[in-house]
Chains A and B, each alone.
Chain A
């Protein structure tokens, strides 16, 4: 790798030294060019990296030593423009530059796409900040037969131009060395402010292309996944593989191993024996290992039942993310989403919701209009089960029958569609046009996949497990104070009357308000204890799936949409959940359905 610096600048002394506060550096660039990879390489902090535009929402900051200087580095979401009609993320980046919240701009560009990068360079130049241009992924560009004359580009723009392969760490030292030489880019003035022609001409002049044979397979694969005749079978196959890996291997094999083997075999008996000996006070003993014990319930649920499924899901999901496959689903779903007031782009937050609804609620920012964002947030809260909940659904219904599973997903999908359709009619505003960039199909790198999966598992352990424990403690207190009986009694008209479920399900729904998956884990235990019939399991799980996912998700809805909208969504979703459950219960009874 090499760094090219404009000749007249190379001789100048390094200007950026000795300052009262750390040097602030911002990474800016088109979506999916590798900003977060460079951020991770510079700071040692892992920012989630995936192969589709819009992974980074909001900004991430980290600190790094560059030479002898401490730098604060800002990772920003990908932008296609900083002038004209802007998305929410583009406004954020624009403001950072306009308010001079950074001292140096590092523009990261996909070396294959110099023209688009230069259009952005021209807009960055308008802010007058010193900058460095990084041509990333030069290896991929070469394989596509594209070579950029970096030295001439550097001298024409008057800024250092660095070539990198960030995922392999190549060129990062050159980037660090180039930072002190950063200077504002020189871009010819145009009276209209439109730099399209300049970018086109410059890119064409400084870029050499030769025919490349590599990429044929990529092209073949790209065609196969986007054509209906081959794409739909591939989609079905992908779903089947996910089911096998998460639903069978994770939710059955691993859960059996950990729950029955480890927890019921060793952990819980040991914990009970230890507390019998060393904890003299019975209430405290109960608190640890009783019916609502932190270990026997809280840890068992979160570690033995949910963790194996979440971990397997994160792994296969991360692989799909990095392959570039997910955005291609938008081609098939665009027509359906348009009926729901959205467009194909909405497939991204929806599929991400299967990982975590809270994160996905944040990702709705990539959608074009306020109406689209509101509908997407509503549908996520209503119908998209997160990984942990998917886990318990597969665990319970997988053991009953495939028809039960189909019934649940069928009912939930119909609800999503109906609510989306109605919301599109009722809510004011418009939808935006479907225009989505498809990232290149890639074989995911093991390193990134491992970092990402570990980060998410750690996140689950830190974020979700404590909530499981808090929920258990709450149930314990409710139980000891006798309030639980009241809750169960109060819920009886709804739980047993309306939904036809056993009484104990009321307490499971209490847990479900904290986290849907925690409630579902409770159902898992009830089902295993033989206290739920097959049809009852389907009704209970459908209601749970349609609930608002968890407290964290609710807080995120407030943050994104405001308190009023959030409360309205909560009330609406709860009403839909309960009435759907009631409808399902009566339908099963009248039709005499059993699984």
Chain B
């Protein structure tokens, strides 16, 4: 993994942006490289432990977190780490 990346090799979990449509799991954490973005996601309920499922990838990412449906741009979907089901 390139130097300076926020996800270390030792951490399990996948970025939401790398899931396929229909896949889901539980939020592990939200990367804090952009604190304002992380705060807003937290306020919308995207916090560790929340259930999350990817609904669409194109033209924008749409996912369901608990009972909230959110539309985000790709960089946001890359900042959410998910522990996959199964």
Chain A residues at the B interface, C-beta cutoff of 8 Å: 80-81, 84-85, 110, 112-113, 115-116, 119, 144, 146, 196-197, 200, 222-223, 226-228, 327-328, 330-332, 334-335, 338, 343-344, 432-438, 440
Contacts and interface: CB of A to CB of B under 8 A. Distances in A.
Given A85-B40, A200-B50, A435 B76 contact: yes
Candidate in A116, A144, A328, A334 with the most chain B CB atoms within 10 angstroms: A116
A434 B72 contact: yes
A115 B50 contact: yes
Contacts of A327: 71
Given A226-B56, A435-B76, A436-B71, A200 B39 contact: no
24 contacts: A80-B40, A84-B43, A85-B35, A85-B36, A112-B67, A116-B43, A144-B67, A197-B49, A200-B47, A200-B49, A200-B50, A223-B55, A226-B55, A330-B60, A343-B73, A344-B71, A433-B37, A433-B40, A434-B73, A435-B44, A435-B71, A435-B76, A436-B70, A437-B68
Contacts of A432: 36
Candidate in B35, B50, B71 with the most chain A CB atoms within 10 angstroms: B71
Contact of A334 (B39, B59, B68): B59
Contact of B76 (A196, A332, A433, A438): A433
Contacts of B67: 110, 112-113, 144, 146
Given A227-B56, A437-B68, A116 B39 contact: no
Contact of B42 (A113, A196, A334, A434): A196
B8 interface: no
Contact of A81 (B34, B39, B59, B73): B39
B69 A438 contact: yes
Contacts of B37: 433, 435
Contact of B48 (A144, A196, A332): A196
A551 B84 CA distance: 56
Nearest to A439: B69
Contacts of B71: 226, 327-328, 330-331, 334, 344, 434-436, 438
Interface string B48-68: 111000011011101000111
Contacts of A227: 56
Nearest to B56: A226
A85 B34 CA distance: 12
Contacts of A119: 42-43, 45, 47
Contact of A115 (B45, B59, B76): B45
Contacts of B5: none
Nearest to A141: B67
B33 to A, nearest CB: 12
Question: 8 shortest A-B CB distances, which residue pairs?
Answer: A80-B43, A81-B43, A434-B73, A438-B69, A196-B47, A112-B67, A85-B39, A116-B45
B12 to A, nearest CB: 20
A335 B59 CA distance: 8
B49 A437 contact: no
Nearest to B42: A196
Contacts of B43: 80-81, 84, 116, 119
A112 B68 CA distance: 9
B8 to A, nearest CB: 23
Nearest to A144: B67
B58 A80 contact: no
B41 interface: yes
A331 B56 CA distance: 10
B60 A334 contact: yes
Contacts of B41: 435
A81 B38 CA distance: 13
B56 A84 contact: no
Contacts of A84: 39, 42-43
B73 A228 contact: no
Contact of B69 (A116, A200, A222, A344): A222
A343 B72 CA distance: 10
A146 B43 CA distance: 21
A440 B36 CA distance: 26
Given A85-B39, A200-B49, A116 B68 contact: yes
Contacts of A344: 60, 71, 73
Given A115-B45, A196-B42, A433 B68 contact: no
A343 B55 CA distance: 20
Candidate in A144, A335, A338 with the most chain B CB atoms within 10 angstroms: A335
B45 A113 contact: yes
A81 B46 CA distance: 13
A84 B38 CA distance: 11
A496 B45 CA distance: 59
Given A85-B35, A116-B45, A433 B73 contact: yes
Nearest to B67: A112
Candidate in A80, A197, A332 with the most chain B CB atoms within 10 angstroms: A80
B56 A334 contact: no
Contacts of A110: 67
A432 B60 CA distance: 16
A436 B40 CA distance: 10
Contacts of A222: 69
Contact of B44 (A144, A434, A437): A437
B15 to A, nearest CB: 15
Interface string B8-35: 0000000000000000000000000011
B40 A116 contact: no
A437 B62 CA distance: 10
A376 to B, nearest CB: 17
A437 B60 contact: no
Contacts of B36: 85, 432-433
A415 B30 CA distance: 39
B23 to A, nearest CB: 16
A329 to B, nearest CB: 10
A335 B69 CA distance: 19
A76 to B, nearest CB: 16
Candidate in A226, A331, A435 with the most chain B CB atoms within 10 angstroms: A435
Given A112-B67, A338-B73, A438 B62 contact: yes
Nearest to A203: B66
B60 A331 contact: yes
A345 to B, nearest CB: 9
